[in-house]
Structures are given as C-alpha cells and as structure tokens.
Structure 1
Amino acid sequence: MMHRGRSSGSTVSSSDTWASDVSERSLVDDSDTLWMNDSSCVKLKFSEESNEDSSRASEPKTPPPVMPPSYRNAGRQAQVTFEIVAANTVKEGPAKFVLYTVLVVRSPGIDTVEASVERRYSDFAKLNKTLIKQFPHLMKDVAFPKKMLTGNFKTETIAERSRGFEQYLGHIYRISEIRESLQLASFFYESDLKSAYNYLRDERYGDALPWLIHAEQLQERLQGLNNPSVTLSLCALVVCYHKTEQFTSAQEYADLALRSLGEKDESPLLVPLLNISIRLCWSLGMEKSDLEERLGRLRAKGIEVERALELKDVVMKLCKLN
C-alpha cells in the first residue's frame, strides 16, 4: 500500500502542476544518491524556533498503514534519495508562490511507502540561512538555487530549481553534523512532532496518530530505525494505538520499537515497552514467552519491573516541548 503525501492546507486558486521529469531539468546531476550509517542521538528535543511556516500540510483523513516488513528489514546501511515529485503554483490572497513536494526515499526499490513534505522556496531559503549561521565552515561549498527577479513561475525555472533543491538536500544530507542537526529536523518533521505530542499530552490519541505517523516515517528515513528519536516516536505510536484500542497496530509498532531499541537494557523505555507488549500479546493470543524472559532478565539485574512507569509517562518525560 502506498501512503500519499498530505495535501496542502492552503487554498489553491491557481495550480500549474509540474511533475518531476529528469528530461525536463537542466542542472547536471552530480549525485543524488548517498549511503549513510544510522547515527545515534542522546535525546529528542525541539529547536527554539518553530518551523510552523514550513508545515503547510493538513492532516491525512486516515492514518497511513504500518510499513511492510520488507522495508523495515532494509538493514542498518541504507540508500537515501530526495525527489521533487511535484511543484504547484499557489495563490493565497495577493501572494503567489510555488509549493514543492519533496519525497524522501530510503532504500529505493525496497521502500514502498511514501513519505513526503510540501515546502515553498522561502522554507528552503530559511533552512539554508540557519545552516549557514550554525555551520558556516560546512556550508561554504554548498550551492543553493537562487531566486530570480523575474520568471520564477515559468515551467523551465521551476524544473531547474526543483533539480537544484534535490541536489541541495542530497549535499547537506551527506554531512553528518547537518544530517543530525535540529535545523534539518525542523525543516522536515519538527512541527508534526510538536502537534502529535501536544495531542498526546491532552490525551487526544486519535488526533495525534496522523501527525505522529507522518513524522516517524520521515524520521526513520532520515535517521534510521535504530536512532533514539525514532524509538521514542515508535513508542508514542504504541501508546496512541493502544489507547484507541487498535491492538494489532499497537503490537506491530511495539515489535518495531523493541527492534529499534536493540539490546539497550539501560533505556527507560524498555521495561514499560516490554510490559505493554506482553499485555498486547496476551490480548491478541500471541506468543509472549520471549518478552517475559527478557523482562525476567532485567528483574534479575535489579531493574524495577513491577512498579515501572507506564509507557506514556516515560514518552512524555523524554519529549521536550517548548
């Protein structure tokens, strides 16, 4: 099943859609493909400046499906590409701009569920400005598509700029410091995470799901399954699906979260995640002995098991909301 990118929340009164076509783009492709090893972050936190202007997509009407196992088993090393798959000319009152749809693909040919964002030129420009300020020595050789005085809405200009944005994202993503930066997170998924965790805090679990799924799909493609921020989002999804009594989906995401954690016995998420996983397996009539054995090993190490916090409480403690 394919999860389509979310539609723009703005009113489109005039639309000139440009679908990505390599033959139409004039910039030379230096290399849009790169290899990365999954990195690790200490904690999830949001940047001080919200990127609300960049979040122009509305909620999906229905939550996307759980990604197929073939994608999840792609391995620790993954190929990541960025594609501008559409560009729409949008009018909002007197303002007119082009809205670009950026598709993030991890392991092409294996990744069959789409994760995309819609961003305008000013969003890319803001990202570039903040990266230059934060990483001037790393950004000195990074080319950014320039805005022209006239002709910004011509098909040829949009095609060339789209190719330039693909190359720009590919270039900065190769730089590990930028790949793991708050600035890149802000551009792609931070506002979705903020919305999701605000809903979660207010116990509006059904409302949190679409935002959280969309953010996690982007996080996992950009950071890899074993990144701690991805683990946290997966655990938040377990909570939301469990609270909305979608137990099969909750169990599937719990299994993914455990795989994301690996052998990190010291993680504060592990015991609450094992506890809820055991309850879900019991409810669904699934085998749970391996989970109980792992919980027993933790108990033998002196780790508190019976009086552990609920998974939601740990998730909210680890998530830093401004």
Structure 2
Amino acid sequence: MAEAKRDTEANIMTPDDLLSGSSLTTKELQQNWREVKRNDRPVRLLFEIPSSRIVEQALSKYVVYQVVVMRSGSFDSRRVSVERRYSDFSRFHHQLLQEFGEELEEVLLPRKLLTGNFNPDNIQERRLALQDYLAKLYSTRCVRHSHHFPAFFTEPEQRRGHSLIRAGQFRAAVEQLQTVLEIQEKLLPWQKPTLVVPTLAALAVGHRDLDDPEQAFGCAHKALPPVRRYGLKQYRAALLELLVDLGYQLGRPVAQMQEELTALRDAERGEACCRSLKELVIQEFL
C-alpha cells in the first residue's frame, strides 16, 4: 500500500514538469494537471444542516437545527456541530445587516413563517434554506472575516463553558469548550489567531482543576504564541505563570519562561495584570 502511494505521488507532476514534459501525450498532460489542481485546492468552509428536532417546554415550543461545520479536504474529517434556532439565525442576520448593509443585499435570510412552523415539510424546506444561507454568507468576504461570524457558531457554547467553570463543573466545561475550540480552529484561516486564546485559557484552567497537568500545559503553551504576537499583556503574564508552575510539576524546562515572566513584570512596573489565569477565565463573558 505504501509503495503504491509513493508510485502515485511520483507520477503527479508539478506545473514546471508539465511545461517541460513534451514527451507526454495530451491525455497524460491533462491527467497530471488535474492531479496538480486537485492537490492545490484552497481550503473552504462547508456547512451542513442534516437534522432538526422540536423542543417542547412548559411555555414554549420551537425547532432547533443541527449545524455542522467542516473544512474541505481529506485532512479534516472531524465534523463538529452546534444547535441553533431560527431566532438565532435572525439575530445573526440583523447584526450583519447593521454592519455591512448593502453588501448583503443578495443574501436573504429564509422568511419567517407565520403558521405551520412545526409542519415536517416546512421544517425540511427551512433546514435546506438555512444551509444555503450559511454557504452564501461564507462566500461574502466581509462576513467570513467579521467577528460576528465565529460568534454565531461558538458564543453560546463558550458562555456556557465559562459558566460551568465558575460553577466548578470542570469536566462538563472542558467537553463544551473542546467543541468551541474545534470550530474556532476551522475558522482560523479567516480570523485572527487570538480567536482561540480565551478558549485555550479556559481549557487550561479546566484541565488543571481536573488534575490533568499535561493537557493543561499543552493548552496554555498553544495559547502563548498568539498572545505574544498580538500583545495581550494580561494573558501573557497569566499564561507564563501557569506554564512555569506546571512545568516544574511536569519536569519541563521553564528557565526561559521564568525569565520572560520576570522581565515582563519588571518592564510593566506593576501595570501588567496580576490576576491568575483562572481569575481571568472566571471574569470572561460575565
């Protein structure tokens, strides 16, 4: 199998190879060029709304739609999903219209139904229409680069995760925040790397309180580069402090991080945020 794969890869030619490959037939040139193009496809976001369900509560009844987010390409087989109501889509659309107005003239939210909201045929029609709506939004550059875009897919779950941390329910919080992180990572090509910082910080706190220092160290260490690059001072000091503490516990080299933390404290002369990472996480999304 490995040898066959190497043989296949060896037969795929670059554009430069194709230009110099005059000995190849037209059919062979076309086949190789298709392979080059297939392997050089840009990464895109894909949205699917495969199902819905009716929720009945004491004073209300509504439909929620399962929204699956994935990135094109075989390298991303993980399908992550959240649930949203039509009212969530409506609120999202209103926010976008307020900011972008004319740029969304051709992107229409499926109309609100006055009757028949729970009719199976109407639910099916709306499910497909909302799926198409998300695809059109993504194709609009200003939308996919806006802060509203990731917020629609993650903010409710992120708020819930932080609330669970404040309540001391760390295992449930970690499960919730892991879903948030996976969606945010799919969105990163169109968002600043700082998007994942609050989530990684919260996961680091959750894992630490679950007595899982290895995972906590990994999350904090992953958050540090974008924090350094974009100058998030309060996170930088708090992350370094946590990493030094966990590093000693895990037997990792921490001298460089300790020097960085000391230099940061000295340079700021008390202006840097002295709150712990847990304090920052608890106060996030209040």
Task: Give me the TM-score of the superposition, normalised by structure 1.
Answer: 0.60
Match of 1:153 among 116, 120, 138: 120
Match of 2:164 among 190, 195, 199: 199
Change (3 A) 1:90 1:314: closer
SS at the partner of 1:258?
helix
Match of 1:172 in 2: 137
Rounded Cα–Cα distance in structure 2 between residues aligned with 1:262 and 1:107: 30
Q: CA contact under 8 A between 1:87 and 1:158: conserved in structure 2?
A: no
Rounded Cα–Cα distance in structure 2 between residues aligned with 1:121 and 1:134: 20
Larger radius of gyration: 2
2:237 aligned with 1:237, yes or no?
Answer: no
Rounded Cα–Cα distance in structure 2 between residues aligned with 1:244 and 1:142: 45
Q: Using the TM superposition, give the Cα deviation of residue 174 of structure 1 relative to its aligned residue in structure 2, in angstroms.
A: 4.1
Change (3 A) 1:306 1:135: closer
Match of 2:238 in 1: 272
Which stretch of structure 1 is more off in the superposition, 159-168 or 296-305?
296-305
State the Cα deviation string for residues 166-192 of structure 1 (Å, max 9, x = none).
Answer: 332132234455346565455322222
Rounded Cα–Cα distance in structure 2 between residues aligned with 1:205 and 1:264: 29
Q: CA contact under 8 A between 2:237 and 2:272: conserved in structure 1?
A: no
Q: CA contact under 8 A between 1:295 and 1:305: conserved in structure 2?
A: no
2:218 aligned with 1:255, yes or no?
Answer: no
Instruction: Count the aligned residue pairs.
Output: 241
5+ residue gaps, structure 2, are 1-41
SS at the partner of 1:87?
strand
Change (3 A) 1:279 1:144: same
Q: Which residue identity lines up with residue 193 of structure 2 in the other structure?
A: N
Rounded Cα–Cα distance in structure 2 between residues aligned with 1:140 and 1:307: 44
Match of 1:295 in 2: 261
Which stretch of structure 1 is more off in the superposition, 110-119 or 249-258?
110-119
SS at the partner of 1:113?
coil
Correspondence 1:133-148 to 2 at 5 A: 133-146=98-111
SS at the partner of 2:274?
coil
Higher helix proportion (structure 1 or 2): 2
Q: Which residue identity lines up with residue 216 of structure 1 in the other structure?
A: L
Correspondence 1:90-129 to 2 at 5 A: 90=54, 92=56, 99-106=64-71, 108-129=73-94
Match of 2:51 among 87, 90, 100: 87
Match of 1:65 in 2: none
Rounded Cα–Cα distance in structure 1 between residues aligned with 2:89 and 2:162: 25
Q: Using the TM superposition, give the Cα deviation of residue 226 of structure 1 relative to its aligned residue in structure 2, in angstroms.
A: 4.5
State the Cα deviation string for residues 178-232 of structure 1 (Å, max 9, x = none).
Answer: 3465654553222222222223334443343233222233333334585334212
Match of 1:227 in 2: 193
Q: Which residue identity lines up with residue 169 of structure 1 in the other structure?
A: L
Q: CA contact under 8 A between 1:98 and 1:153: conserved in structure 2?
A: no
Match of 1:212 among 169, 177, 181: 177
5+ residue gaps, structure 1, are 1-76
Q: Which residue identity lines up with residue 51 of structure 2 in the other structure?
A: A
Q: Which residue identity lines up with residue 153 of structure 1 in the other structure?
A: P
Match of 2:277 in 1: 311
Identity %: 27
Rounded Cα–Cα distance in structure 2 between residues aligned with 1:278 and 1:78: 36
Change (3 A) 1:176 1:278: farther
Rounded Cα–Cα distance in structure 1 between residues aligned with 2:196 and 2:136: 23
Change (3 A) 1:231 1:237: same
Rounded Cα–Cα distance in structure 2 between residues aligned with 1:222 and 1:291: 29
